[in-house]
């Protein structure tokens, strides 16, 4: 028995925010000191490091759960799946629904429950619940769904990653430019086919790494200290990811009985272009290789930014639908999913298409 993806879908918000839009902002550091660089210089430096040129924000009348439901509808259609046969709806997010112009996160009822409601699923045996696991949340949902499918408790799961980070951004923090909104979803089912999940690995580091991503007060000196925004210690996250993520990816590949040259594509969390490239280089070094193929790592961060849990399922759906030039996956290909984020958490999964 194995677990196989039978349908994919994603929702990309329509509102485009370019780096030029941030040139109107004043940026302060974490000590609330004004950064003495022109905003356009900050934006240009940001693009050179992250590769992000644009990002998408959800419209004012939509919520995280709305995006999740739209992505789910596409995945259900792609799988030609009767929604009443879904055993579990697993939604990965970090902040739930956040009403525009407020900063209060709302996850009661669970986002997954709201998605089930929006999809009109009546079956009470379809269990809907959320996962909070930082940016690796969607992949953790996939690992959890796979575990349920393996035991026979479930036969068909809907796994969604959705986030509206634009609702929790500090506009006076340079790091706010990295984040974006979006949703991606898959249907994953039990199968006797050899294709599907081959292996996975997971790690949590929660000592000094605990607050590398957190909620904190605005960088703006006159802000209300009671209102909190998403905060990131960028250098700490970078150093942590470079050290630990390649090891977790190698562990996953080794568990599958394969080696790095068997991997056709790597779908890594779209966190930062230079960081992702550095992680892949370090992974290849662990196998004694200095270069990796040009068509190994598809990316959509340049136009879509970092949408946290939504980046991998969105990227996978786009490549599967041949929407990213120069990248495609074919039946029988072995691919690797990998992510890192708040917790700090890491996970990886080897999968045969």
Domain that includes residue 15, residue range = 2-193
Q: What is the pTM of this model?
A: 0.94
Same domain, 20 and 141: yes
Residue 36: per-residue pLDDT = 87
pLDDT given for residue 40 in this prediction? 83
- 210 and 335 in a single domain? The answer is yes
> Is the domain of 213 the same as that of 160?
no
pLDDT at residue 220, as a whole number = 92
Q: What is the pLDDT of residue 227?
A: 87
Query: Number of structural domains, the chain?
Result: 2
Same domain, 221 and 348: yes
Final residue of a structural domain among 156, 171, 193: 193
Tell whether 124 and 251 lie within a shared domain. no
| Residue ranges in the chain modelled with pLDDT below 70 | none
pLDDT at position 90, please? 98
pLDDT of residue 3: 94
Same domain, 142 and 212: no
Per residue, the 3-state secondary structure of the chain, as one string, reads: CEEEEEEEEEECCCEEEEHHHHHHCCCECCCCCECCCCHHHHHHHHHHHHCCCEEEECCCCCCHHHHHHHHHHHHHHHCCCCHHHCCEEEEECCCEECCCCCCCCECCCCHHHHHHHHHCCCCCCCEEEEECCCCCHHHHHHHHHHHHHHHCCCCEEEEEEEEEHHHHCCCCCHHHHHECEEEEEEEEEEECCCCEEEEEEEEECCCCCCCCEEEEECCCCCCCCCCEEEEECHHHHHHHHHHHHHHHHHHHHHHCCCCHHHEEEEEECCCCHHHHHHHHHHHHHHCCCCCCCCCCCCCCHHHHCECHHHHHHHHHHHHHCCCCCCCCCCCCCEEEEEEEECCCEEEEEEEEC
80 and 169 together in one domain: yes
pLDDT value, residue 62: 94
Which CATH number belongs to the domain containing residue 70 in this structure? Answer: 3.40.47.10
Same domain, 7 and 148: yes
Q: How many CA atoms lie within 13 A of 275 on its CB side?
A: 28
């Amino acid at each position: 028995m194995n677990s196989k993806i039978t349908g994919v879908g994603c929702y990309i918000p329509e509102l485009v925010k370019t780096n030029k839009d941030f040139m109107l902002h004043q940026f302060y550091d974490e000590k609330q000191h004004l950064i003495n660089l022109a905003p356009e210089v900050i934006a240009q430096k940001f693009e050179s490091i992250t590769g992000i040129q644009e990002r998408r924000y959800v419209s004012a009348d939509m919520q995280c759960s709305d995006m999740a439901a739209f992505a789910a509808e596409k995945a259900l259609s792609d799988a030609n799946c009767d929604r009443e046969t879904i055993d579990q709806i697993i939604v990965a997010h970090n902040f739930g629904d956040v009403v525009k112009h407020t900063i209060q996160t709302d996850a009661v009822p669970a986002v997954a429950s709201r998605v089930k409601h929006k999809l009109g699923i009546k079956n009470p045996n379809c269990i809907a619940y959320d996962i909070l696991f930082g940016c690796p949340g969607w992949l953790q949902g996939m690992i959890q769904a796979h575990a349920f499918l393996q035991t026979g408790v479930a036969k068909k799961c809907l796994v969604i990653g959705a986030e509206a980070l634009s609702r929790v951004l500090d506009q006076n923090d340079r790091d706010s430019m990295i984040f974006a909104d979006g949703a991606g979803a898959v249907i994953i089912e039990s199968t006797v086919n050899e294709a599907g999940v081959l292996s996975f690995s997971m790690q949590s580091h929660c000592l000094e790494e605990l607050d590398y991503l957190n909620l904190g007060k605005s960088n703006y000196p006159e802000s209300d200290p009671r209102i909190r925004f998403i905060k990131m210690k960028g250098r700490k996250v970078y150093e942590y990811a470079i050290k630990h993520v390649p090891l977790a990816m190698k562990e996953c590949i080794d568990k599958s009985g394969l080696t790095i040259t068997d991997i056709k594509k790597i779908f890594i969390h779209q966190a930062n272009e230079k960081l992702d490239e550095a992680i892949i280089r370090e992974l290849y070094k662990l196998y004694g290789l200095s270069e990796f193929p040009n068509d190994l790592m598809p990316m959509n961060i340049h136009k879509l930014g970092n949408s946290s849990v939504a980046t991998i399922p969105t990227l996978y759906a786009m490549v599967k639908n041949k929407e990213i030039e120069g990248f495609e996956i074919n039946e029988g290909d072995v691919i690797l999913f990998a992510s890192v984020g708040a917790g700090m958490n890491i996970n990886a999964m080897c999968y045969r298409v």
